[in-house]
Structure 1
């Protein structure tokens, strides 16, 4: 009898819900390259990643009449696609002295720029969720500066884009902020 009770007791202690088991185990995070769009930088065309995709990178070649390419991607956590909230667009700021960082635990999902370096730039941010809870970000870092007129930057493993800074015209420095999915 004592043996049966011990087996039942230990069996009861080992039982956890699927949600608890998910939270206790290390999550498998996969980021898949997705949608890519190229626009004339000065056109004023708003670029937004499709539903449930986030910005992973950006490249630009030339002056304000050159092309800018945006790289979006999907995030999977333990095989479940991460949900991305509706975008919130920032107030516009002058490109030649611009600094933008998404609020904590939010990612970039879009950008719009009109004109030359004196034109206006704004960003779209969104929050992430999976398993009914907010996906958190950690290990925020800035990329090295590079010349805007010949720039390419893309998130590293398990990272998403969360910010950008630019000074001057197309010959000025640009850098990007990335954060790691830490769910």
Structure 2
């Protein structure tokens, strides 16, 4: 009877019937996971381990400096999101590189060899939760920062989905992030 009147008592609060019948919002939590530091020019492919995607990156110095990759676990309603195996992009020249994962994929790895004229490629992965596709929304690019002293990490409920770099280690690097949702 209360539901037909448009009200449903939930705990100490009251919720309208349309709100009570709507699917709950995805409670998304991203937990820091695997971190790996490599010499940028070494050509070492870095992939996030199982159940993880990239959530940040930092670099110090020129091509002989270190790059650190930050991976994270995604939980929706306290349950781990499944992450597919990687699909690697073709290589592109680092000094004028632009890569954005095709929606709704996230970055899950990167490989670079040599200096700014060397090749860079990215790994992407799709995500599912309870057999449902995980979607990404609210795509955003960061402001540029000097590559030789760059650090960027996703905000709450976000994963890394793209990167752009111009020039050498003194050039600008931009990162793209998107928010995790069930759609």
Match of 1:143 in 2: 142
Match of 1:182 in 2: 181
CA RMSD of aligned residues (A): 1.7
Match of 2:172 in 1: 173
- What is the distance in 1 between the residues matched to 2:177 and 2:38? 22
Matches within 5 A, 1:9-48: 24-48=23-47
- What is the distance in 1 between the residues matched to 2:31 and 2:21? 21
CA shift at 1:26, angstroms?
1.1
Match of 1:92 in 2: 91
Q: What is the number of residues matched between the two proteins? A: 166
- What is the distance in 1 between the residues matched to 2:62 and 2:22? 47
1:67 equivalent in alignment to 2:66: yes
Match of 2:11 in 1: none
- Structure number with higher helix proportion: 1
CA shift at 1:174, angstroms?
0.2
Matches within 5 A, 1:100-179: 100-179=99-178
Q: Secondary structure at the match of 1:181?
A: strand
- Structure number with higher strand proportion: 2
Q: Secondary structure at the match of 2:179?
A: strand
Q: Secondary structure at the match of 1:86?
A: coil
CA shift at 1:76, angstroms?
0.4
Gapped runs of 5+ residues in structure 1?
1-5, 11-20
Gapped runs of 5+ residues in structure 2?
5-19
Cα shift readout 1:104-137 (whole Å, capped 9, x = no counterpart): 1100000000000000000000000001110000
CA shift at 1:22, angstroms?
11
CA shift at 1:23, angstroms?
7.7
**Runs ≥4 in structure 1, deviation > 2 angstroms?**
none
- After superposition, the Cα gap between the structure-2 partners of 1:120 and 1:45, relative to the gap in structure 1 and judged at 3 Å, is same
- What is the distance in 2 between the residues matched to 1:79 and 1:169? 42
Cα shift readout 1:113-164 (whole Å, capped 9, x = no counterpart): 0000000000000000001110000000000000000000000010000000
